[in-house]
Structure 1
Amino acid sequence: DLDAVVYQIIPPAVLAGRKRRLCYFVKGDQVLQFDLDEWKPLSGARNVSDMWPGLKDSQFAAATPAPPFPPVKARADFRITFVNDGEYEPEPYGSIRLDLKDGSHFRIWTQKNQGNSTPTRNSAAPSMNLPFTANDIAKVGFWVDEYDLTSGDDYLARGTKDFTGNGSYTVSSDDGHVTVDVTITPVT
């Protein structure tokens, strides 16, 4: 029931040779600093503007807690395969989403185009809880390109496929294709 979690690594050069990993748990206008290496809080909950003075008088310093998350209605497991014909390790970026019958969208995979440092991957396997059931899904939506240093971007998959239940969904282009295998299980 948190509003945000911030992860911080303090490099060894700052602490005279010792790396430190911290986590900040934020709820409303309160933040708790937690030492991941010692596995304990460093203090009690403090006001956001006391922890981070640069946020004083900002909307974050006077925040109210976010509303609770909607209940989990299903569990989803995905296996995503990225193929760029002629390349062994594509560098895909973009997003894959579930389009719901009510017009809203639920993103299941996203990667920003980072130019020379876009991660190479042939596949991804996200798993997540869903606040809706398989009956609420209308389409699987694809907008996936592939970074190519020499020839510009390649377009792997742009479009949608009607959702018909658990199974495979593929969108192809002249440059390649993306396949999403979907397994959604209701939560009882």
Structure 2
Amino acid sequence: MTVDLNSRYGLNPAHSEVVEACQIIEPCDALDMGCSNGRNALYLSQLGFDVTAIDVNPSAIHMLEDIIKQEELTNIKAEVYDINRANLDADYGFISCTVTLMFLDPARVDAVIADMQQRTKPEGYNLIVCAMDTPAYPCPINFPFTLNEGQLREFYEGWELIKYNEDVGTMHNGAQLQFATMLAQKPS
């Protein structure tokens, strides 16, 4: 039986879209982009994925490294990395980028997504959840970057969209806003 490391260390549960994606994605090399304290990375490692967790915040990475060390986890590594660099150095079967793009430099988002796509193995998956700013639902939070209607779908032209929606959701702080949610599979 797997131990729920997230609750053991006081972390939020894994993002619901990560949990849902893992119902169809077999354990593989995975990248958790913008991992924060590692809630998704720990979940993935418990399912047997070999996880690389990256975040620009050294404190968050050190916290995750402490958990990795205490739990003697061998299938997860945490690295301080600025996602704006858009220069990943390995290929992955699954790249998860939930609630991360909106904190990036808007001028770098196209390059970050192109890099994610390039570093996804054939038949691999990208999961993106990102806030939107639309006429119907102006974003109430001043994020550096938000998606427009249909923008995420356009980025993934030629990929199979396993799931795609632009639904209104609630942030952990209670704010209501529209999110683009996509799970896409790269062609072989």
Q: TM-score, normalised by structure 1?
A: 0.23
Structure with higher Rg: it is 1
Write 1 or 2 for the structure with the bigger share of strand: 1
